[in-house]
Structure 1
């Protein structure tokens, strides 16, 4: 997926979630006005890619406990100059969970989020412009904890708030997953 394709996808991104409606133009502006937006050295904010991994029954999701942020999140991370964010999401998914047997439910953008990453050491506070894709894997596939995490596991959708709290973007993806499940039954 090229920058041009991503810009087009986000220019036409449709969602019923208010926060995402406001995020889409900010993504497009970043992509059009900042050539280095895929590199983490753009200190105002940069593009990241994530994978929301669901079970085949659409009733569980893979979450990892991020060491630095001390929060439960979906697998994802920095693009480090790679403009194909689907490729970034796949790389991060595999590195952070050990999963290699998965499939993308769609290669369209599943969710977008802009969130502040707090200052740490010499790294100033900055924004992650996170582009999320949805993948499916079998819960029997073994998960591996990476050096960036404290834990990684399958979490029932009904228990996500117990693990991840009331993080708006995580809850939004849970709602989208439940809506997808309902549309398939």
Structure 2
């Protein structure tokens, strides 16, 4: 974190540049280069980067999801990058801890496992999130809690996800799961 409270843009550019070439990766890099540090701040414009975290059971056969109050769907934990976050990965971990109630949750890796730009509806003050996803694991027996941003938090078997998930969520979840399994493999 810099003295002026802005997150170093170079760190996020380096993390994205380390990913294999793809249309998504290139779009994210272009977005960051055009908007600069503003892309990493909630109030930097109507579109900005967010950090999210897919939380799996250690066997990767279950996923912990929250029912998002504004979005009215089941989704991984995540949110805006705050001034005290040292990185987007740090923001994803903080959000997952806050929204799941698992205070000692730690990312399996700081490697990016998912990129997803999505438009938002009128219930949000922003118009789009450029989400950067990470992954963590937790014991399904750990105590969980519902935050103010959610209506529920619950474990689901990977092959029995709820109907109310965002478009493309199942594809993103499976990609994050495969990548996470390879990271620890």
TM-score under structure 1 length normalisation: 0.84
**Aligned residue in 2 for 1:77:** 79
- Cα distance in 2, alignment partners of residues 116 and 169 from structure 1: 14
Q: Which residue of 2 aligns with 1:8?
A: 14
Q: Tell me the residue number matched to 1:41.
A: 43
The alpha carbon displacement at 1:174 in A equals 2.0
What stretches of structure 1 of length at least 5 have no aligned partner?
16-20
Runs of at least 4 residues off by over 6 Å: 182-185
Structure 2 counterparts to residues 3-152 of structure 1, below 5 A: 3-14=9-20, 21-34=22-35, 35-81=37-83, 82=85, 84-120=87-123, 123=125, 126-152=127-153
Once residues 62 and 141 of structure 1 are traced to their aligned partners in structure 2, the CA distance between those partners, rounded to angstroms, is: 11
The separation in 1 between residues aligned to 2:45 and 2:118, in whole angstroms, is 13
Q: How far is 1:83 from its partner?
A: 5.6
* Structure 1 position 119, deviation (Å): 2.1
Please name the residue that 2:4 is paired with.
Answer: none
Residues 149/180 of structure 1: CA separation in 2 closer, same or farther (3 Å cut): closer
Work out the CA distance in 2 between the residues paired with 1:182 and 1:131: 18
Give unpaired runs (5+ residues) of structure 2: 1-6
Q: Distance in 1 between matches of 2:79 and 2:183?
A: 30
1:177 aligns with 2:177: yes
- What is the RMSD of the two structures over their aligned residues, measured on CA atoms? 2.5
Contact 2:46–2:127 (Cα < 8 Å) also in 1:
yes
The structural deviation recorded for 1:151 is 0.4
1:177 Cα deviation after fit: 1.3
* CA shift digits 1:124-179 (9 cap, x unpaired): x511010111111111111100111110011110112x344473144322244156
